């Protein structure tokens, strides 16, 4: 089985994240780049499926040169090879542009199964897997907390507000995973050493037959008009419980008309 | 006045609160048209939608829509975008609503904005990103603006619309039927409001200590008519089901009031609740970062404070 995992490098949420005032895009130099947390769950699930059903796991990422760190992390976990879509023309792409660029690349490299994290910690749009399914005409099996494959049939448990739906489709398919699905493994020393020798193919937009007019800031379907750092929340009232903490809290809620 | 399409969220035939919020918002932009997808439409639903301003109600009642994942709703909306040429399409910024918006954007070659907390009549959306750290204004520059609006960002106000009904037959493509729902499993639903759209959320974390102790969180929630949330530490420990997790890898909530009990306020959690209007924190540790966000904080043992608060709330009701 040819499994492709889409991963994204994002600014570390533990550091201060910024937009670039020049073009209102993410400032990638302001914070350390790390693999998006849910992408680790996607890589883990791909490795599990490979271990159970055989095949090969390819990591696909779109991002600047420094996204190679994220590729190495996924390879160290056990993925077999990687494709890095990197081109200055891609800078500033929105979700539609990104899904278009990734779909074109996926058509080029082929897949039986594409796995993604359900959202990234930076943009948090949560739309990419659905967009890839739409663009590739493949079944959408998103928000999975469990994935089962039987021959060419795939069944997932899709997280819903009331519990979950069991959803079935035929391969090839697009899957997105939630954090509940597994426990991502840590790369072993052996894995880290082996990752250095694994093949990483670098593609530009021409290689992936991506139309420059549909990507980047100028090709995007939406744009950020302006932004402002949110004013910090005003310091609140902090009291120590002296046995009447609950009653005091009730008074506060009453003063705000919540009760 | 241009139509504004609003995709109706409904459960067991009942219109969800977020849809009333979207209709209220849509009235400031044009003439609201509600779009009902799937079975369950009734006179009561019609009355509710009209009460909140729907001038038109498109009804596509096919079971096929409910039995397949997301794609049929996007196909239905795409058809209406082409026939009605609306000025915008609004959906709720729920996990599924955003997926519908994403597919619709591609079908109609239109831009999409997710997690809007406000929308001006020039269709400029306000978004709060990086866990509430940065406010962004953005707009769609190609096609029909598709905007996923966060629950609780508009107060629903009734104002009668004409409620003219129009049945829509949809013939779904094979692609839309590719992912089939074979079973629905309800878990721990209860009578509480849904987490993402509740006006009040009471969440418990590591400090709650056990699954059994979550009962005190639930009692406070029930006294306030609130939803229950949990931090990742609590769901990882198996104390509360995963679908109630608030945070970066869980649900994002923006309630009027958020009560965090026994939650330290790690960045992971803050990313999911920081845009709450009022935050009350209860924690033993005076250094807990949650107090940096709290409008009102109590340093002490939640096992004493929460039951006392519950009792006071019940007394005042």
What CATH number did the domain enclosing B276 receive? 3.40.50.1220
What are the residues whose beta carbons fall under 8 Å from the beta carbon of B213, sequence distance 6 or more?
B204, B239, B303
The answer to whether A119 and A38 are in contact (CB under 8 A) is yes
Considering the domain architecture, whether residues B88 and B167 belong to the same structural domain is answered as: yes
Residue A249, pLDDT above cutoff 80 = yes
Binding residue per annotation — B264? yes
CATH of residue B172: 3.40.50.620
The whole-angstrom separation of Cα B14 and Cα A258 is 25
Query: B291 lies in a domain?
Result: yes
Given the DSSP bridges, would you call strands B56-60 and B164-167 parallel, antiparallel or unpaired?
parallel
- The whole-number pLDDT of residue B189 equals 57
DSSP letters for B79-129: HHHHHH--SEEEEE-SHHHHHHHHHHHHHTT--EEEEEEEE-TT-PEEEEE
The whole-angstrom separation of Cα B169 and Cα A150 is 35
Nearest to A95 by CA among B113, B233, B96, B262: B113
Both tokens of A84, joined, read 């890095």
Q: Contact A178/B249, CB-based, under 8 Å?
A: yes
Domain ranges in chain A are 2-231
- The whole-number pLDDT of residue B270 equals 92
Considering the domain architecture, whether residues B58 and B206 belong to the same structural domain is answered as: no
Q: Which of B67, B106, B132, B282 to mutate to test the interface with A (most CBs of A within 10 A)?
A: B106
Binding residue per annotation — B136? no
The answer to whether B307 and A250 are in contact (CB under 8 A) is no
Query: B28 lies in a domain?
Result: yes
The answer to whether B205 and B275 are in contact (CB under 8 A) is no
Considering the domain architecture, whether residues B21 and B152 belong to the same structural domain is answered as: yes
Look up the CATH architecture of domain A2-231.
Answer: 3-Layer(aba) Sandwich (3.40)
Considering the domain architecture, whether residues B252 and B131 belong to the same structural domain is answered as: no
Considering the domain architecture, whether residues B244 and B150 belong to the same structural domain is answered as: no
Residue-wise pLDDT tens digits, B248-303: 889 999 999 999 999 999 988 998 999 899 999 999 999 999 999 999 999 999 99
Residue-wise pLDDT tens digits, A220-239: 999 999 999 988 888 899 99
Q: Which of B151, B178, B222 to mutate to test the interface with A (most CBs of A within 10 A)?
A: B178
Both tokens of B88, joined, read 């915008």
Considering the domain architecture, whether residues B163 and B274 belong to the same structural domain is answered as: no
Residue-wise pLDDT tens digits, B102-158: 999 999 999 999 999 999 999 999 998 888 889 999 999 999 999 999 999 999 999
The answer to whether B305 and A239 are in contact (CB under 8 A) is no
Considering the domain architecture, whether residues B153 and B12 belong to the same structural domain is answered as: yes
- What is residue A52's three-state secondary structure? helix
Considering the domain architecture, whether residues B171 and B209 belong to the same structural domain is answered as: no
- The whole-number pLDDT of residue B205 equals 98
Backbone angles phi, psi at B29, to 5 degrees: -110, -20
The answer to whether A182 and A147 are in contact (CB under 8 A) is no
Considering the domain architecture, whether residues B48 and B81 belong to the same structural domain is answered as: yes
∠B256-B260-B266 over CA atoms, to 5°?
A: 110
Which has the minimum average pLDDT: A184-198, B124-138, B178-192?
B178-192
On whether any CB of chain A is under 8 Å from the CB of B128, the answer is yes
Residue-wise pLDDT tens digits, B43-100: 999 999 999 999 999 999 999 999 999 999 999 999 999 999 999 999 999 999 999 9
Query: B13 lies in a domain?
Result: yes
The whole-angstrom separation of Cα A181 and Cα A73 is 19
The whole-angstrom separation of Cα A147 and Cα A3 is 13
DSSP letters for B49-91: HHHTT-SEEEEE--HHHHHB-SHHHHHHHHHHHHHH--SEEEE
Tell me the ipTM for this assembly: 0.96
- The whole-number pLDDT of residue B188 equals 65
Q: Please count the structural domains in chain B.
A: 2
Considering the domain architecture, whether residues B80 and B228 belong to the same structural domain is answered as: no
Query: B186 lies in a domain?
Result: no
| Domain that includes residue B277, residue range | 200-316
Residue A141, pLDDT above cutoff 90 = yes
Helices (H), chain B: 17-27, 43-51, 63-67, 71-84, 95-107, 214-224, 232-236, 267-273, 290-293, 302-316
Average pLDDT value for residue range A132-151? 98
Q: Contact B291/A238, CB-based, under 8 Å?
A: yes
Given the DSSP bridges, would you call strands A200-203 and A81-85 parallel, antiparallel or unpaired?
parallel
Considering the domain architecture, whether residues B173 and B205 belong to the same structural domain is answered as: no
């Amino acid at each position: 089985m040819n499994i492709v995992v889409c991963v994204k490098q994002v600014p570390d949420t533990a550091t201060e994240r910024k937009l670039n005032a020049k073009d209102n895009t993410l400032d990638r130099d302001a914070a350390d780049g790390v693999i998006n947390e849910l992408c680790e769950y996607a890589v883990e699930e791909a490795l599990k499926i490979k271990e159970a059903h055989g095949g090969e796991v390819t990591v696909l990422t779109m991002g600047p040169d420094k996204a190679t760190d994220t590729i190495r992390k996924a390879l160290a976990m056990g993925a077999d090879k990687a494709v890095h879509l990197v081109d200055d023309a891609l800078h500033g792409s929105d979700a539609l542009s990104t899904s278009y660029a990734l779909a074109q690349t996926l058509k080029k490299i082929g897949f039986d199964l594409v796995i993604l994290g359900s959202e990234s910690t930076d943009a948090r749009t949560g739309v990419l897997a659905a967009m890839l399914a739409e663009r590739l005409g493949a079944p959408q099996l998103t928000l999975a907390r469990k994935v089962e494959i039987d021959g060419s049939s795939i069944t997932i448990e899709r997280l819903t507000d009331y519990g979950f739906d069991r959803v079935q489709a035929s391969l090839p398919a697009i899957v997105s995973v939630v954090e509940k699905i597994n426990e991502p493994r840590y790369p072993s020393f052996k894995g880290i050493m082996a990752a250095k020798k694994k093949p990483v193919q670098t593609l530009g937009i021409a290689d992936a037959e991506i139309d420059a007019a549909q990507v980047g800031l100028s090709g995007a379907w939406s744009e950020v008009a302006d932004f402002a750092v949110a004013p910090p929340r005003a310091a609140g009232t902090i009291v120590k419980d002296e046995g009447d903490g609950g009653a005091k809290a009730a008074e506060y809620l009453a003063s705000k008309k919540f009760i | 006045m241009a139509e504004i399409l609003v995709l109706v969220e409904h459960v067991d035939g009942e219109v969800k609160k977020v849809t009333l919020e979207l209709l209220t918002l849509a009235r400031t932009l044009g003439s609201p048209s509600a779009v009902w997808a799937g079975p369950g439409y009734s006179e009561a639903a019609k009355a509710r939608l009209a009460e909140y301003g729907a001038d038109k109600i498109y009804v596509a009642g096919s079971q096929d829509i409910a039995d397949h994942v997301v794609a049929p709703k996007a196909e239905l909306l795409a058809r209406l975008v082409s026939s009605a040429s609306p000025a915008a399409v609004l959906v709720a910024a729920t996990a599924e609503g955003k997926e519908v918006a994403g597919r619709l954007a591609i079908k109609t070659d239109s831009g999409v904005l997710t997690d809007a907390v406000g929308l001006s009549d020039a269709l400029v959306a306000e978004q709060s990103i990086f866990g509430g750290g940065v406010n962004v204004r953005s707009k769609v520059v190609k096609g029909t603006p598709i905007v996923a609006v966060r629950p609780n960002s508009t107060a629903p106000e009734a104002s009668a619309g004409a409620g003219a009904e129009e049945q829509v037959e949809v013939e779904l493509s094979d692609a839309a039927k590719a992912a089939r729902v074979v079973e629905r499993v309800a878990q721990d639903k209860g009578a509480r409001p849904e987490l993402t759209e509740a006006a009040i959320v009471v969440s418990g974390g590591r400090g709650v200590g056990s699954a059994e102790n979550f009962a005190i969180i639930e009692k406070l929630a029930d006294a306030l008519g609130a939803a229950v949330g949990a931090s990742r530490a609590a769901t990882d420990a198996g104390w509360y089901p995963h679908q109630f997790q608030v945070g970066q890898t869980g649900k994002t909530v923006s309630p009027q009031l958020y009560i965090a009990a026994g939650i330290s306020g790690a960045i992971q959690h803050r990313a999911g609740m920081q845009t709450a209007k009022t935050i009350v924190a209860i924690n033993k540790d005076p250094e807990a970062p949650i107090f940096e966000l709290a409008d009102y904080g109590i340093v002490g043992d939640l096992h004493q404070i929460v039951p006392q608060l519950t009792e006071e709330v019940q007394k005042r009701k």
